[in-house]
Amino acid sequence: MSIRHGLLALLERGPRYGSQLRTEFESRTGSTWPLNVGQVYTTLSRLERDGMVAQGGEDEAGHTLYVITQAGRTELKSWFRTPVDRASPPRDELAIKLAMAVGAPGVDIREVIQSQRRHTIKAMQDYTRLKAQALEAVPKDRDEVAWLLVLEQLIFQTEAEARWLDHCESRLIRLSMAPLHEATPVREATGEPTDDPPDATPGEASGEVLGRAPVHEAHPPGGR
């Protein structure tokens, strides 16, 4: 999240002081990404150091006002024109958790997925309810329209996450049903299969690799 550019965008509308910028930022985003005043003033100090904002006197209450400079406007225009870079995506805790859960001793990855799915669906329902409330009245200003756009992005994001979790569960089930010779690791030196219990079934062997129950206990994809 670019607090730096968000503050520049707000200052483009006119002089603002720190706590006013925080309030307007949270209003525009529905407090989805709350800020504290310390973050705001730290960012303003850096922007001032970089010549993108300047102090512009005080208001009647004695608050120090900040104004955007021409360099700040140039930076802001460049930010709006430049696509968000996806070459180095931010770390996703859920993706990392599932990647680490695969094969982790004592971890039922199916339960990890189902627990997350319940949470994701509840979040999606909450966002959808907030959207319905927001649409009951026609948005009257830019902050309300901006909050509606943020809400819809959160809904799309949670919908995609729920579909991805279904896909993860389906893939793990298919892997647990794969033939034993496809899932059995080989020794690097001899190229021979590792020793598995002679009576192990394909589902049981791969179930151990995946750190989940044998396939005959698995729920169907999408099960709640």
CB 183 within 8 A of CB 201: no
113 burial (CB, 10 Å; 0-12 / 13-18 / 19+) is buried
Place of tokens 């190229």: 191
The Cα–Cα gap between 66 and 154 comes to: 31
Q: Work out the number of other CB atoms within 10 angstroms of the CB of residue 215.
A: 20
CB 172 within 8 A of CB 206: no
Residue 33, CA atoms < 13 Å, CB-side half-sphere: 13
pLDDT at residue 8 in the model: 96
Task: Tell me the pTM.
Answer: 0.65
Name which residue leads in pLDDT, 65 or 221.
65
Q: Work out the number of other CB atoms within 10 angstroms of the CB of residue 124.
A: 18
pLDDT 10s digits, 149-163: 999 999 999 999 999
Place of tokens 């989940």: 212
According to DSSP, residue 190 is labeled: T
pLDDT at residue 222 in the model: 43
Name which residue leads in pLDDT, 173 or 192.
173
The Cα–Cα gap between 192 and 186 comes to: 5
pLDDT 10s digits, 25-43: 988 888 788 889 999 999 9
Task: Work out the angle at residue 58's Cα, subtended by the Cα atoms of residues 17 and 24, and round it to the nearest 5 degrees.
Answer: 20
